[in-house]
Amino acid sequence: MVENTDYAGFVRRTLKAFVKRASDDPEALVLLKNVADEAADALNRAIVGCSDSGYSYGEIASRLGITRQAVQQRIERQRDLDARRDVGPDA
C-alpha cells in the first residue's frame, strides 16, 4: 500500500512536470487551470469526508491553517453542490 505522503509526493512531481509543459504552451494553461479547479473541488470533498469520518471542524481547520468557520462553509458549499449534482462526496 502506498502511504499518503508518498502518493502526495507523486502528485506534486506530476504537477510540477505539467507546469513545466504549460509554461511554453498557452493551450496547456487551460488544462492546468482545469486541474487546479479539480484540485480545489477535491480538497473540499476530502474535507467533507473527514467531517463525515468524525473529525471535528477544529481538527480539520488546524491542519489546513484555516478557521473552523471556513471549514463549515466549505462543507456546506460542497454538500450543496453535491446535492445539485446528485452525487455523494466519493464521486
User: pLDDT digit string (tens) for 32-82?
Assistant: 999 999 999 999 999 999 999 999 999 999 999 999 999 999 999 999 998
70 by Cβ neighbours in 10 Å (0-12 / 13-18 / 19+) ranks as middle
- Residue 45 has a pLDDT of 96
- Residue 6 has a pLDDT of 94
What phi and psi values does residue 53 have, to the nearest 5 degrees?
-85, 0
Nearest to 46 by CA among 14, 18, 4: 4
Please enumerate in sequence order all residues whose Cβ is within 8 A of that of 44, keeping only pairs 6 or more positions apart, or say none: 74, 75, 77, 78
Weakest-pLDDT range from 4-8, 49-53, 82-86: 82-86
